Amino acid sequence: MKTLKELDVKNKRMLVRCDFNVPLDEKGEIEDDFRIIKTLPTIEYLIKKGAKLILMSHRSDDKNLAVVRERLEKYLKGKKFTLLENLRLDKREEENDQGFAKELANLGDIYINDAFGVCHRKHASIVGVPKYLPSGAGFLLEKEVKVLSKVLENPERPLVVIIGGTKVETKTKVIKHFLEKADNVLVGGMIAQSVNFISSKLCLPIDHKANFDIGSNTIKMFSKIIKTAKMIVWAGPLGKFEDPLYEKGTKKIAKEICKNNKAFKIVGGGDTIFALTKWGLRDKFDHVSTGGGAMLEFLSGEKLPGLKALE
């Protein structure tokens, strides 16, 4: 995997895949631009080196990237860049259509992947484009891989993994992987309802608040385990935290993790990070990953297609 500094980028059209899939509020305003900020070092470096920038990103929904463009304009203070539209508005992106990959590749001379959060997806802009262009990793991707590789190779024990959120399909298989690697796997949120296997290491909620949050007995049970951990990996809220009525489970567990001073703490995922930012707890974590599902898949030992494509 080539890194950015190994590439001669001057006057080159740099096609940079970013993950600008940021949470938006009801009015469509950005709630947390953490992922945008984390991509700025790559973007600013390329501008400084005299490259031409073509940025691209998806959103998980069908919204456009207008608010992302505005935010980038603010941070880049008049420096020129092109931002393509939400890639998933073209269904060929998720189909990894080679025609689409070639169309994208034609826009650049070099492809840079700085979208760690999407490296678990076999999509055209992730695995297709690097077939047709010289490619490399952006600074964010490089850093994520470096930090998370250390964890993967040499986890501190007890290793406690907490998985919540909604992306059931991605997460069910990582739960199974973590049951082999971790000492305890705590599962809450929507995903808990789809777990249909058992293991002595697996902890599922024992009570709920109106099906939108974990209940107080579950909070107690999870907290007891979190106290024992030397390493904690967390992705995905444990309930509908955006509604104050159902934020208690996620908030209490977040606080419990932060109280554990002995543990190396890693967190990932757009919603989870947004929740931590809101409660002023983000900085208490040792590594805040821009990936949610991607981070979990990487740490569970899977080879991410987006990383393979850069090799």
- With respect to ligand 3PG, which residue has the nearer C-beta, 239 or 292? 292
What CA–CA distance (Å, rounded) separates 256 from 156? 18
CB count in 10 Å sphere of residue 289:
27
- With respect to ligand 3PG, which residue has the nearer C-beta, 95 or 109? 95
Q: What is the closest distance, in whole angstroms, from the C-beta atom of residue 39 to ligand 3PG in the complex?
A: 12
Binding site for ligand 3PG (CB under 6 A): 19, 21, 60, 117-118, 121, 167, 270, 292-293
What CA–CA distance (Å, rounded) separates 243 from 20? 24
Q: What is the closest distance, in whole angstroms, from the C-beta atom of residue 287 to ligand 3PG in the complex?
A: 16
Integer-rounded Cα radius of gyration of the chain: 20
DSSP state of 302: P
What CA–CA distance (Å, rounded) separates 161 from 159? 7
Cβ 39 vs Cβ 142: under 8 Å: no
Q: What is the closest distance, in whole angstroms, from the C-beta atom of residue 24 to ligand 3PG in the complex?
A: 12
DSSP state of 238: S
- With respect to ligand 3PG, which residue has the nearer C-beta, 249 or 293? 293
Maximum separation of any 2 CA atoms in the chain, in Å: 60
Q: What is the closest distance, in whole angstroms, from the C-beta atom of residue 58 to ligand 3PG in the complex?
A: 7
What CA–CA distance (Å, rounded) separates 180 from 198? 13
How far CA 47 is from CA of 74, 140, 172, in Å, comes to 15, 16, 40
- With respect to ligand 3PG, which residue has the nearer C-beta, 215 or 305? 305
- With respect to ligand 3PG, which residue has the nearer C-beta, 21 or 250? 21
- With respect to ligand 3PG, which residue has the nearer C-beta, 171 or 208? 171
Residue 269, both tokens: 């995922």
Q: What is the closest distance, in whole angstroms, from the C-beta atom of residue 109 to ligand 3PG in the complex?
A: 26
Q: What is the closest distance, in whole angstroms, from the C-beta atom of residue 162 to ligand 3PG in the complex?
A: 16
How far CA 218 is from CA of 40, 211, 235, in Å, comes to 39, 13, 17
